[in-house]
Amino acid sequence: MRPKFLKKLAEMEHKKMIMYPLIVFVVALLILAVKPPTLGIDLAGGVVVTAQGVSTNPDEVAKYVSDKLGIEVRVESFTSLAGGGINVYAPAGSSPEDIISVLKEKFPDAKYAQSEVQPTFGEMAQKQGIKAISYAFLGMAIVVFLFFRVLVPSFTVIFSAISDMIIAVALMSLVGIELSQATIAALLMLIGYSVDSNILLTTKLLKKKEDTIKEAYFSAVSTGFTMSTTTLGALASLWLISTAPVIDQIAVVLVFGLLADFMNTWVLNAGVLKWYLSRGEKQ
């Protein structure tokens, strides 16, 4: 038995299927223009002080350190097999020794470690991240064009992957997730997820063995929804169980991207393919 919303999608006019996701894409671009995501310390440079064996409210520690040193810091708690603790993130130019000295007044028994990323290294990491994403898209575009050898469907697959990434970054900006090397890795993973579902749909509709476009769409969407839903379940479980902020961020970014991929694959790409195939049938 087919869910009602899938029947509605299959019967929706192709102009509406194309228009709605494009509106969301434009809104995401506007969000990024107004409020781009904050760069993490590994991209912008800065200082990280780790205090092992501390169990406290991170917001209170951030206020305490900021009041003492007059600098804005961000504090995150973590748990590990060696015990819990906190990470204090401070901007480039801050003195890790001063931060440790202040923390020792409040947590004298904690074990401290420090690391520092110079702004020049952060800038290099930014360039490498941009290069990695550009090469990934270029490689994906070449494979897609070689596989389908048809301009409109190939372009739509590539655009869907770009839209997934733009929407995910816009949502990151809204909820305050930093753009870091970890979240860039998550965005790169999105390309794979996006291309999988779009190639499934495009292949089913272009080489349809079913009698109608609608039947081919139902066949693809049943498999695609199962794939994406199981992945979303795994990511949601990871986010709920994990206590590591980096893993949480990766899981959340992938969830954002997969939700965007639902729309861009089964609405936008399906709408373009319905238009493209119906145009061919008329000719």
Q: With a cut of 50, which residues of the chain have pLDDT below it?
A: none
Q: What three-state secondary structure class fits 180? A: coil
* Topology agreement, domain 4-40+121-281 and domain 46-117: no
pTM of structure: 0.81
Beta 85-91 vs 46-52: how paired, if at all?
antiparallel
CA distance 170 to 181: 17
With beta carbons less than 8 A apart as the criterion, state whether 88 and 75 touch.
yes
The structure tokens listed for 207 are 């080489």
Give me the helices (H) in 207-244, please. Answer: 213-241
Q: How far is CA 144 from CA 4, 147, 148, 159, 275, in A?
A: 32, 5, 6, 12, 20
Residue-wise over 202-226: b if at least 16 C-beta within 10 A, else e?
bebbeebeeeebeebbbbbbeebbe
Which class is domain 46-117? alpha beta
pLDDT digits 0-9 by tens, 155-200: 999 999 999 999 999 999 999 888 888 888 899 888 888 888 888 8
Domain 4-40+121-281 has CATH 3.30.930.10: no
DSSP code, position 39: B
Q: Where are the domains of the chain?
A: 4-40+121-281, 46-117
Q: Is 149 exposed, middle or buried (0-12, 13-18, 19+ CB in 10 A)?
A: exposed
Single out the residue of 225, 125, 243, 224 nearest to residue 184, CA to CA. Answer: 125
Q: Letter for the amino acid at 254?
A: L
